[in-house]
A and B are shown apart, each in its own frame.
Chain A
Amino acid sequence: MKIGASSPGGSLPDKRCGPTSASAGNNPAEAVSSLATQKGQDRPEAELERLAKSLRRHIITMIGTAGSGHTGGCLSAVEVLVALYFKIMRHRPQDPRWPERDRFILSKGHAAPALYATLAEAGYFPVAELPTLRKMDSRLQGHTDRTITPGVEMSAGSLGQGLSFSIGVALAGRLDSKDYRVYVLLGDGECDEGQVWEAAISAAHFKLDNLTAIVDHNKQQLDGWCSDIMNLEPLAEKWRAFGWQAIEVDGHSIPQILSAAEQARATKGKPTVIIAHTIKGKGVSFMENNLEFHGRAPNAEELAQALKELE
C-alpha cells in the first residue's frame, strides 16, 4: 500500500494542506511565518491570541490530513505553548541546539502536533511541512522524536518520562553554571504514572528552581473523566506536599500563564508547577470536552466545520 498517496487525509483538498496562518506567506515553499522573524518578547497580546487561533487551525488541519492523532489534548495546550515560545522562553529557531537556550520538553508526547505547529510558526522549520505529519519519511512523527525534528528536545509518547529527563537537563544547567530555564509540559492523565512522582520527589530534593512543570489539566484521559478513571484531586495539594510551589491558572489565559511563569522565575530553592486548568478540544465547539476527540481525527466535514469556527 502506498501510504502517502492513499492515506485517509489524501482526499482532502490541497489548499487545506498549505499554511493556514493568516500571517504566513502565500507561497508554501517560503511559508516560514513572518511572526517567527519577530522578537517574541515585545509581541502585543492581541497578536498572541491570533497566533493561538492560527495554531489551532494548523493542528486540526494536520491531524485531519493525517487521518489520526490526538486532537483534544493538542487544542487544550495551545495557549501554554504560545506563551512559552512567543513570550517566555529565550530561544533561537535558526539554532535549535543553542547551548544557552531555555528548554521546553513535551512530556505528553501525543500533543506533538501542537508542538510542531508552534515550532513551525516560531521558524524552526517551514509551516508547509506541517501536513506531512505522521506520513512516511516525515520529520513530524506521530509522537515526538528527538533525533529528527529541529527544536524537539526529547523523544516521547510513552507517558510519565519527561519530568525525569527535564530534571537531568536542569541539573546539567546547574553543574555548568548556565542560567537557562527548563519547562516541561505534562498531561493530567499522565500524572497517573508513578515515575512522575519519583521525579517530583527528586526535583524538590535537588531544589531545582530552574525547572517549571506545567500540567495541562484538561480533566479527561482516554477512557473518561480523570475523576472517574483515576482521581488526581487535590492535584495542586499533591505537588505542594511533594515540595513544589504550585500555581493554578486558567490555562487559556495567556496573561495568567505569563504571570505564573514570572512567579516561578522569581522563586528560589524549589521547583514550580503551573496547574493549567484547560478544556480538552478548546476552540472548536463540538470538540470541547468531547471524549471522542481524545484520540481521533476530524473527518473532512468536521474539519471544514472546525476551520469555519476558527476563522
Chain B
Amino acid sequence: MAREESTREAYGRTLVELGEANPNIVVLDADLARSTQSQMFGHKFPSRFFDLGLAEQNMIGIAAGLAASGKTVFASTFAVFASARCFDQLRMSIAQPRLNVKIVASHGGITVGEDGFSHHAIEDVGLMCSLPGFTVIVPTDAVEAAQAIRAAAALLGPFYIRLSRPKTPVIHEDGYRFVLGKAVTLRPGRDATIIAIGVMVALALEAAHRLREIEGIDCRVLTMPTVKPLDEEAILQAARETGAIVTAEEHLLQGGLGSRVAQVVSSHQPVPMAFIAIKDVYSRSGKPAQLMERCGLTAEDIMDGVRGVVLRKARQMAFRLGGR
C-alpha cells in the first residue's frame, strides 16, 4: 500500500498553515489537543489557542461567542464528545444562529479501538446532520481532510468534520481537488454502485476490485465526503446508470450516510439498496480490525451487499420481462 497518514495529522498541519495566513483564526480544544492534533496550532500561536479543559459544553458556548465577534473558530475534541456531549449547545449557540464555528472531531467511529464503546462515536454523523444549517464532511484520507478543512475555513457558517484516529491509506493523488458538496468517482462501473465514506472507502475499492476479478461484477465506487448537503445528482445518476446501490460507513445504520442516500433514491429513482453500517448495538474494546469484522464492516461485507443488490436487480428485471 502507498503512503499512510491519519486525517487528524492532516488537521494539525493544515491549522498551522491557515493560522499563518489568517490572524482571525482561533482554535479551541477540550483537553484532547495532543490527540486531535490541535496542539500543533497551540504551539505556534499560543495567544489564539484556548484549551478549555474537560468542559465541552463551555467550549461550544465560547466558540459561539468568539464567532459572533468575527472570529473563524475551530473547536476540536473526540467525535463522541463533540457531538453527543454538547448537542444542545451546538443547537442553541451555533446551529440556530448559524455562527462561523468549525467542529473538527477526531476519533470518529469504532477504529478508535481499545478504548471501547464510550469512545466510539457511532451516532455523530446522524446527530450533526440533524442540525439545520450544519455542513457535515467525512474526509476519505489525509489529502482530502486538509482540503476540506481549508474549504470550511473559507466559508462562513457551521461545519462538522469527522476525522479518524488511525493512520489510513492516502487514496487521492496530490493533484486532487476537493469540491464541497460533490461526490468523487474513484472507479467507473455499470453493474452496481458502492457509495462509501471515511475508512470504508479503501475497503470499497478492495471489494470492487475483487468482485471484478472473481465474479465479473463491475462496480462503480463513489466517495461522498460531503454527507450534508448530499450530491443528489451523483446519487441519482448512479441509480439510473447502475440500478443498484450499496452504502458503506463506519456509523450506525440509522441517521447516517445510508439513510440519507436512501431518502434521495426512494424519492426519485428507487433501486435495490444495501447498507453496510453498524446495526442497532454498541461496540466494545478490541483492535480496530477485529471490531470492523465484528460489526460487519469489511470488504467481504461490502461484497455480500453488492451480490445481494445485483441479484435483486436481476430478479426485478426478469419479473418485468416476464410480465410482458
> Which A residues are closer than 8 A to B by beta carbons?
145-147, 153-158, 160-173, 175-176, 194-195, 198-199, 201-202, 206
B97-A201 in contact (CB<8A)? no
**Distance in Å from the Cβ of B32 to the closest Cβ of chain A?**
16
A164-B92 in contact (CB<8A)? no
1/0 per residue B46-88: CB within 8 Å of A?
0110101101011111111111111100000000000000001
**Distance in Å from the Cβ of A83 to the closest Cβ of chain B?**
23
Contacts known (A164-B57, A166-B65); A171 close to B50, Cβ less than 8 A = yes
Query: Given B53, B55, B66, B68, which contacts A153 in the complex, CB threshold below 8 Å?
Result: B68
Q: Please, which residues of chain A bring their CB within 8 A of the CB of B63?
A: 168
A198-B57 in contact (CB<8A)? yes
A198-B70 in contact (CB<8A)? no
A161-B69 in contact (CB<8A)? no
Contacts known (A147-B97, A165-B62, A175-B47); A202 close to B69, Cβ less than 8 A = no
Bound CA–CA A153/B65 (angstroms)? 9
B92-A202 in contact (CB<8A)? no
**Distance in Å from the Cβ of A147 to the closest Cβ of chain B?**
6
- Besides A167-B62, A175-B48, A202-B53, 16 other A-B contacts (C-beta < 8 A): A146-B68, A153-B68, A155-B97, A157-B92, A158-B88, A162-B61, A163-B61, A164-B61, A164-B65, A165-B61, A172-B26, A172-B69, A176-B70, A198-B52, A199-B58, A199-B61
1/0 per residue B85-103: CB within 8 Å of A?
0001101110011100000
Q: Please, which residues of chain A bring their CB within 8 A of the CB of B89?
A: 161, 164, 195
Q: Max chain B CB contacts within 10 Å: which of A147, A194, A198?
A: A198
Q: Name the residue of chain B whose CB is nearest to the CB of A174.
A: B47
B71-A175 in contact (CB<8A)? yes
Q: Name the residue of chain A whose CB is nearest to the CB of B60.
A: A164
Contacts known (A155-B92, A155-B97); A168 close to B62, Cβ less than 8 A = yes
> In the complex, which range does the number of interface residues on chain B fall in?
20 to 34
Bound CA–CA A163/B60 (angstroms)? 11
Bound CA–CA A154/B99 (angstroms)? 11
**Distance in Å from the Cβ of B315 to the closest Cβ of chain A?**
50
Query: Given A145, A167, A206, which contacts B61 in the complex, CB threshold below 8 Å?
Result: A167
Q: Name the residue of chain B whose CB is nearest to the CB of A109.
A: B92
A172-B66 in contact (CB<8A)? yes
Bound CA–CA A256/B55 (angstroms)? 34
Q: Please, which residues of chain A bring their CB within 8 A of the CB of B69?
A: 168-169, 172-173, 176
Query: Given A157, A171, A176, which contacts B65 in the complex, CB threshold below 8 Å?
Result: A171
B70-A168 in contact (CB<8A)? no
Contacts known (A171-B50, A202-B52); A161 close to B68, Cβ less than 8 A = no
- Interface class of chain A by DSSP: helix
**Distance in Å from the Cβ of B27 to the closest Cβ of chain A?**
12
Can you list 18 A-B contacts (CB < 8 A)? Answer: A146-B68, A155-B97, A156-B92, A161-B61, A161-B88, A161-B89, A167-B61, A167-B62, A168-B63, A168-B64, A168-B66, A169-B65, A169-B69, A171-B26, A172-B26, A176-B69, A195-B58, A202-B62
Bound CA–CA A145/B62 (angstroms)? 18
**Distance in Å from the Cβ of A78 to the closest Cβ of chain B?**
25
**Distance in Å from the Cβ of A107 to the closest Cβ of chain B?**
10
- Residues of B85-130 at the interface with A, using a CB-CB cut-off of 8 Å, are 88-89, 91-93, 96-98
Q: Please, which residues of chain B bring their CB within 8 A of the CB of A163?
A: 61
Bound CA–CA A268/B73 (angstroms)? 27
Q: Name the residue of chain A whose CB is nearest to the CB of B52.
A: A202
A165-B65 in contact (CB<8A)? yes
Q: Max chain A CB contacts within 10 Å: which of B66, B92, B96?
A: B92
Bound CA–CA A162/B61 (angstroms)? 7
B67-A168 in contact (CB<8A)? yes
**Distance in Å from the Cβ of A183 to the closest Cβ of chain B?**
13
Q: Max chain B CB contacts within 10 Å: which of A146, A156, A170?
A: A146
A165-B57 in contact (CB<8A)? no
B97-A154 in contact (CB<8A)? yes
Q: Please, which residues of chain A bring their CB within 8 A of the CB of B47?
A: 175
Q: Please, which residues of chain A bring their CB within 8 A of the CB of B60?
A: 164
Q: Name the residue of chain A whose CB is nearest to the CB of B66.
A: A168
Q: Please, which residues of chain A bring their CB within 8 A of the CB of B66?
A: 168-169, 171-172
Contacts known (A165-B68, A202-B52, A202-B55); A155 close to B61, Cβ less than 8 A = no
Q: Please, which residues of chain B bring their CB within 8 A of the CB of A153?
A: 68
Q: Please, which residues of chain B bring their CB within 8 A of the CB of A169?
A: 65-66, 68-69
Q: Please, which residues of chain B bring their CB within 8 A of the CB of A176?
A: 69-70
Q: Please, which residues of chain B bring their CB within 8 A of the CB of A155?
A: 92-93, 96-97
Bound CA–CA A194/B93 (angstroms)? 16
Q: Name the residue of chain B whose CB is nearest to the CB of A206.
A: B50
3 smallest beta-carbon distances between A and B, as pairs: A168-B65, A164-B61, A172-B69
**Distance in Å from the Cβ of B84 to the closest Cβ of chain A?**
15
Q: Name the residue of chain A whose CB is nearest to the CB of B48.
A: A175
Q: Max chain B CB contacts within 10 Å: which of A167, A170, A194?
A: A167
Q: Please, which residues of chain A bring their CB within 8 A of the CB of B92?
A: 155-158, 161
Bound CA–CA A291/B267 (angstroms)? 51
Bound CA–CA A166/B96 (angstroms)? 17
